[in-house]
Amino acid sequence: MSNREVSLAARLSVAPMMDWTDRHCRYLHRLLSRQTLLYTEMVTSPALVRGGALHLLDFNPEEHPVALQLGGSEPEELAQAARLGAEAGYDEINLNCGCPSDRVQSGTFGAVLMKHPELVADCVSAMREAVDVEVTVKCRIGVDEQDPEEVLPDFLEKVSAAGCRRVTVHARKAWLQGLSPKENRDIPPLDYPLVLKMRAAFPDLHLSINGGITTLDQAEALLAQGLDGVMIGRAAYHEPANVLCGADARIYGQNGGMGPEEAVLSMLPYIERHVSGGGKLGQVTRHMLGLFAGRPGARAWRRHLSEHAHRAGAGPEVVRDALALVAPEAA
């Protein structure tokens, strides 16, 4: 895809989420929305460049538009990792400057990079020189005792000067000590007005907002205020149909994805291939548990998959039986 097409897709995106947005999850999400930009879990540049773990780049061609998120802080190594991602076929390479976990901090990347905007600029510059696809950044509004009103504009100024044209801002501070990664998703207060102020201050940047957004109504309201994109995380994972099935029409003005029942039926051949190749059914169905959230039979659907997907020899028939427990959608 062209960089312009990917930028248009970034009007709505599903956040990169560790242990969640793997290739099975993204395949399902793509059935529900043809347009939404999808992100991988974070992949570290040392794992790719020093560890040779190229299997972490595996994805299905049907996932496009799809972006690879990288974690790292060494410019040349990130450039090599970005090159590997571009060669694998990803439409965008994203640099993680927002994850607050201890494991990420120990590698001097993630949210701790908010303290080192010059280094981030060097990383962006090196990655851009290595690939033709768009290099983007996902960041916080600040960390620890930083003043976001001062830190965020300086950060954006430096990364944009390095050639980054698209930034997603998680509109919360990250506390690197004293809060768990889970608490960092909820406790620091959201500051949407600051992100909106940055949109006005950097008119040439494509700015997306992330954090606390759970519905398409919220996404449309933020887009109407002038933001270029909205990124949704946990809600898109836990209630994928509720978020993604209406996205193509409402966000992009196009016909698009499937309803949840049709998506389940379309997943069956994919599941058959996965299981026949030695994979486990639960590796796929764990991402499908929330498909019918709010529908009669949703609990029975979840229970059946949870109880049967991990049994020896489990295959597509488990999913068919679970689907039969869901009440037909009301007209």
Catalytic residue positions? 99
Token digits of residue 128: 């851009």
Q: What is the DSSP letter of 92?
A: E
HEC assignment per residue over 150-168: HHHHHHHHHHHHCCCCEEE
Q: For residue 58, how many other CB atoms are within 10 A of its CB?
A: 10
Element (DSSP H or E) covering residue 190: none
Is the CB of residue 227 less than 8 Å from the CB of residue 9? no
Estimate the crossing angle of helix 298-308 against helix 316-323, to 10 degrees.
160
Cα torsion angle, 90, 140, 14, 166, sign: negative
Token digits of residue 121: 């600029």
Q: 70 in helix, strand or coil?
A: strand
Is the CB of residue 197 less than 8 Å from the CB of residue 150? no
CA-CA distance, 104 to 291, in Å (whole number)? 31
Radius of gyration of the chain from Cα atoms?
20
Residue 315 carries which side chain, given as an amino acid letter?
A: G
As to burial, measured by CB atoms within 10 angstroms (0-12 exposed, 13-18 middle, 19+ buried), residue 159 is: buried
